[in-house]
Amino acid sequence: MTRNLISIVDDDESIDRTTTRLIESFGFRAAAFESADAFLRSGQLHDTSCLIVDVRMPGMNGLQLQSQLAAEGCGIPIIFITAYDDKESRRRAIQAGAVAFLSKPFSDEQLLQTIRLALREEFTAARNPISIVDDDESIRRTTTRLIESFGFRAAAFESADAFLRSGQLHGTSCLVVDVQMPGIDGLQLQSQLAAAGCLIPIIFITAYDDKESRRRAMQAGAVAFLGKPFSDEQLLETIHSALRHEKRGTETT
């Protein structure tokens, strides 16, 4: 754990000090900066495994720092912390790929769990794609763009059969699948994968949220069953849950 550097960017010196001590008590290395500009000038950018950044700061604020890093192709996982948790800032941060948006004061355990999630996603996001299976071309296109905006790779398929033939089966970290489709529907695809011993975490999406389909999907191990339209934040949180599910499954096999 000591090889991971967690960088904290906050203009409040007391927050820098207490958060640094807390992170070091978890067994990580920590470095604190009083501004986004100080962080960018520090030379620590490429050594940072996770960035904890305040939303509101003089000069370049947290959201502007996130945008600048993204424009430079820097995929450091970002955890936002703020004393002013407004919905628009949260929406912008999460939509742009933030791992979490924590309100001050946060608990020690809350921060530790979020850092662990961020460090897992540093590798997961660049590793295997999230596959989308939906016969609606507009849903495939918008969901692909949304998932890529979170920092993940995405691959889209117009049918379950196309997905099964694609060669992506064993390289998929998470499957986002429509319930009602021509040919093999979502529930049938779930059953077929289970029968083949394939434990890809599945998120169902549907415009027809009937109780029986939901019951069957969840009973068979689906991570979630989302009604269309779903929010950006809802999908991101569900993908996080699915990837945690995948990691647990990998560790037990």
* pLDDT tens per residue, range 56-74: 999 999 999 999 998 887 8
**Whether pLDDT at 249 is above 90:** no
Query: What is residue 19's predicted lDDT score, i.e. its pLDDT?
Result: 95
Q: For residues 114 and 79, is the Cβ–Cβ distance under 8 A? A: yes
User: Across the chain, which distance is largest between two alpha carbons, in Å?
Assistant: 60
Q: How far apart are CA 98 and CA 21, in angstroms?
A: 23
Q: How far apart are CA 70 and CA 75, in angstroms?
A: 7
Task: Read off the pTM.
Answer: 0.55
Q: Quickly state the pLDDT bin for 246 (edges 50, 70, 90).
A: low
How long, in residues, is the chain?
A: 253
Query: What is residue 138's predicted lDDT score, i.e. its pLDDT?
Result: 95
**Whether pLDDT at 32 is above 60:** yes
CA angle 16, 19, 24 (to 5 degrees): 120
CB atoms within 10 A of CB 203: 22
Percent of the chain with pLDDT over 70: 90
* pLDDT tens per residue, range 47-56: 898 999 999 9
Query: What is residue 200's predicted lDDT score, i.e. its pLDDT?
Result: 92
Show the DSSP H helices in 84-224 as ranges: 87-95, 108-124, 137-149, 160-165, 186-195, 211-219
Per-chain mean pLDDT for the chain: 87
Contact partners, residue 71, CB within 8 Å, separation at least 6: none
Q: What are phi and psi of 202, to 5 degrees?
A: -115, 130
Question: Tokens 């950044």 map to which residue?
Answer: 53
**Whether pLDDT at 148 is above 50:** yes
Contact partners, residue 158, CB within 8 Å, separation at least 6: 133, 134, 135, 137, 140
Of 163, 161, 99, the closest CA to residue 131 belongs to 163
Q: How far apart are CA 67 and CA 173, in angstroms?
A: 26
The residue among 184 and 233 whose pLDDT is bigger is 184
Q: At what angle do helices 232-252 and 137-149 cross, to 10 degrees?
A: 70
Asked if omega into 58 is within 30° of 0 (cis), the reply is no
**Whether pLDDT at 7 is above 90:** yes
**Whether pLDDT at 250 is above 60:** no
- Give the pLDDT mean for 143-148: 85
Q: Quickly state the pLDDT bin for 233 (edges 50, 70, 90).
A: confident
